[in-house]
Chains A and B, each alone.
Chain A
C-alpha cells in the first residue's frame, strides 16, 4: 500500500482550496462569444473604477472639498478648462476630484453593504432551508415583509433612524442598503438549500453520521454559494443606484463626510436650467458607467455559472478527419 507522496499537510490544504475556487469559476474561463465580451468589458470598466478608488489620493488633483489652491479660491461654476478638466461646481470644488473621491465612497459603501447582507442573508437562508419548520416559516414571513416594502422607502427609513445614533456616514448608508438586500440573499440561498437538501449526497452524509451543521457546512454550503457571486455583482450595481438615490434625496452621506455622486447630481439640478451642464453630466455619467460595468459582470457571471441559463460551449465540427469506410457514399 503506497501513500501518495507529495505536499505536506499545510501546503496541501491551501492548494486544495485554491483548486476548489478555480473549479467553481471554471465555466467563466470557458465562456465564449457575447457572454465573454460582456464579462471582459464589464470587468474592465469595474476595474478602472476600483483602480481610481484605490489610488484616489494620487489621481485626484484636489481633495473632495478643496475650493482653493495656492491661496486663491476657484471660480464658481467654471466651465471645463485645463485647470479643472470637468469644471467646478457652485461651491467652487473641482468636479473631477469629487468624482474620483466619490468613486471611493460608492465602492466603500457597496462593499460594506454586500459584506453585511451576504454574511447575514446567506447563513439565515442555509439554516432556514435546511431545518425548515417553524423557524423557516417565521423567517420567510419576515423576509417577505421586508421584500414587499418599497426598497427606497425602507432604506430611507433606516437611514433616518440611524442618522441620530451613528451619524450620516458611510456606515449608515451601508446598513440602510444592507437591509434592502438581505431578503434577496436569503431567498436565493434558502431555495437552493431546499433543493440540495433532497440530494442523495446529503442523505448519504446523514447516513454517515454527520451532524446537521457539518452537513450544512461541508455538503450544502459549497453547492449553494456558487449562486452568490452573480447575485452579489448584480446587487452591487443596484446598490450604487440606491446609494445615489439616497444621496439625491438628501438621506445619504453628508457632504462633510465625503463626495457622493447622487448628492452632486442633486446639487446640479438647478444648474442645468441655466445651461451649466458639466456639474450634472459627469457625476451622472460616472453612475451610469459603474452600474453598466457591474451589471455586465453580473449578467456574464450568471449566464456562465447558472446551469439553467448556461449553454454548453461548443466547438466547430470537423468532418474532414478519416472516418468510416462507408462515409458519404450512397
Chain B
C-alpha cells in the first residue's frame, strides 16, 4: 500500500527563484464575453471574465502543487494558460527557463514534449476513433520519434508501466471497450510517453469511482518517483489534495487566496474561505453531522466580481474595509424575505420603490421609497433589520445612512483590495492578516457616524498566531 509521502520541511517552498521549474508572475487570463445578439451586431463586447486575475506562484522541480478551488475559481484556466492552451492576457510564465506567454504556436509545440496534461473526463479525453495503441503512440508520431516498430515497442512498454498489462490485449482496443479507470490509465500513458518533466493533472480522479481513485493516485505517485515528474494537481477535492500534494494553493474567483505547505493549510487554515472549504467536505464519520455554519450563497459571477475582497459577501469574519456595497444589501434583504410569510414580505417590499438600483455595483445608493412612504419608514426598517442581528458583518461596512423625504441615501466605506501577506510559511490574501487594513478599519470605526456603530463583531485583531488545529 502507498504511504503518504513525508512532508519534509525543506521542500515546502522553492527558496531560490532559479530552482523553480515553472515561475508565474502577475498572470492574467481574461475571457471576453459574447454579448447579446444586438450587442454583437453593433460590434460591442459585453466585457470580460477575469478567469485568472494577477496570479504569481512558483512550482519547484519534483514538487506536487495542489491548485484547489470550486468551479469558476479559474484553476482550470490557470492550468491551461500554463500549458499555452489559452493565451494569457498579461504577465509571465517561465517554464524551464523559457517564457511561454506570447510564444508562437510552432515553438510551443516543441515545448509540449516537456509538459503534458491529464484531463478530468477519461471518457472524452481519448479519440473514440483511435485504438489505444494509436492514441498512446500518437505523441511519438507527432514529434517524429522512432520508427513505427520502435514506437509500437514504446507504447507497449508505457502501457505496461501504467498497469495496462498485458499490453497486447489493450493496444487493439478502442476507448469504448475500456472502463473509466483503464481509460484514465491510457490517458496517463499518453501523457508520459514523451518523458515530460511537468504533468498538469486536471481533476484526474474526480469522475472515477471511489474504489478506483486510490489506484490512479497511487499510479501517479509511482510515476512521479520513477520519472522525476513535477505535478500541478488541479482539483476541487481537498481530501485527495491533502494526500497527494506538497503545497496547496487555494483559488477563489481568479485569485490565489492562500498558498503554503500542505500541512500548514490543513492543520491551520488561515483564510476564512479555506476554513469553510475544509468544514464543508462530507466525511464518512458517523459522529459528524451536516455542518451548519457554512458560508451563504455561491461563487459569484466572475464577470461582475464583488468589490474589495471577492469572498466578503460569504465571509462571516468580514469587516469595515472588505468591500461592502449595494449588492450585499440586496442579498441581505432577499435572504430576509425568503424566510418571511408572504404578507410580511409584501408589506416590507412596499416600502421600497425599485430595488434593482442595488444591482449595479457601487459604494453609494439612493433607495427611493414606495409610493407615499416616507423615507423615515424605510430607514426604520433598515434600522430594525440591523437591530435584529447586530453581528451581521454587513453593517460594519455601512458608513452613512441619510434619511430624505422620499428616499434613503446609503454610503458604504471605500473598499480595500486584499494583499498577499505572509503568515508563518503561508501567504494569505485576507485583510484579517494585514496590519494596515486592520488599522484602517479601526480608524474608520472611530470616525464612523453614530448611525453605524457596530455591535457584536468585536474588534478584529491580526490573526497571526497559530490557533491550533481547526
Please, which residue of chain B has its CB at the minimum distance from the CB of A210? Answer: B142
**Contact yes or no, A200 B139, CB < 8 A:** no
> Which of A109-117, A150-158, A211-219 is the interface stretch?
A211-219
Contact A209 B143 (CB under 8 A): yes
Q: How far is the CA of A210 from the CA of B112 in the complex (A)?
A: 9
The count of chain A contact residues (Cβ–Cβ below 8 Å) is 27
Nearest B residue to A201 via CB reads B127
**Which residues does chain B contribute within 8 Å of A219, judged by CB atoms?**
127, 129-130
Asked whether A133 is an interface residue with its Cβ less than 8 Å from the other chain, the reply is no
A201 close to B126 (CB less than 8 A):
yes
Chain B hits for A199, CB < 8 A:
124
* B129 x A205 contact (CB < 8 A): no
B111 proximity list for chain A (CB < 8 A)? 209
CB-CB under 8 A for A209 and B138, given A3-B153, A218-B127: no
Q: Is B49 in the interface zone, CB < 8 Å from A?
A: no
Task: With both chains docked as a complex, state the minimum distance between the C-beta of A292 and any C-beta of chain B, in angstroms.
Answer: 33
Q: Which residues of B contact A1 (CB under 8 A)?
A: 153, 156-157, 160
Q: Check A329 for interface membership: any CB of B closer than 8 A.
A: no
Which chain B positions have C-beta within 8 A of A211?
109, 142
- Rounded to whole Å, the gap between the CB of B388 and the closest CB of chain A is 49
Task: Specify which chain B residues have a CB less than 8 angstroms from the CB of A4 in the assembled complex.
Answer: 152, 156, 167-168, 171
Given A1-B156, A210-B138, residue A223 in contact with residue B110 (CB < 8 A): no
* Tally of A-B Cβ pairs under 8 angstroms: 84
Report the separation of the CA atoms of residues A209 and B139 in the bound assembly, to the nearest whole angstrom: 8
Instruction: Kindly state the separation between the CA atoms of A2 and B171 in the bound complex, as whole angstroms.
Output: 13
- Kindly provide the distance from the CB of A166 to the nearest chain B CB, expressed in whole angstroms: 39
Q: Size of chain B's interface in residues, with CB distance under 8 A?
A: 40
Q: A23 touching B174 by the CB < 8 A rule?
A: yes
- Assess the A204–B149 pair: CB atoms within 8 A: no
Residues A207 and B85 in contact, CB atoms below 8 Å apart: yes
Q: Is A203 an interface residue (CB 8 A)?
A: yes
Smallest distance from the beta carbon of A329 to chain B beta carbons, Å? Answer: 32
Quick check: is B119 within 8 A (CB to CB) of the other chain? yes
- B113: Cβ under 8 A from any A Cβ: yes
Verify if B47 is at the interface (C-beta below 8 Å from A): no
Query: Which residues of A, 189-227, contact B by the 8 Å Cβ criterion?
Result: 199-201, 203-211, 214, 218-219, 222-223
6 extra A-B contacts, CB within 8 A, seeds A1-B157, A204-B187 = A204-B126, A206-B85, A209-B108, A209-B109, A209-B142, A209-B143
A-B contact pairs, 27 of them (CB 8 A): A1-B153, A1-B157, A2-B167, A4-B156, A4-B167, A4-B171, A5-B168, A9-B148, A200-B120, A200-B125, A201-B124, A201-B126, A203-B119, A204-B117, A204-B119, A207-B83, A207-B85, A208-B142, A208-B190, A208-B194, A209-B109, A209-B113, A210-B138, A210-B142, A211-B109, A214-B142, A223-B127
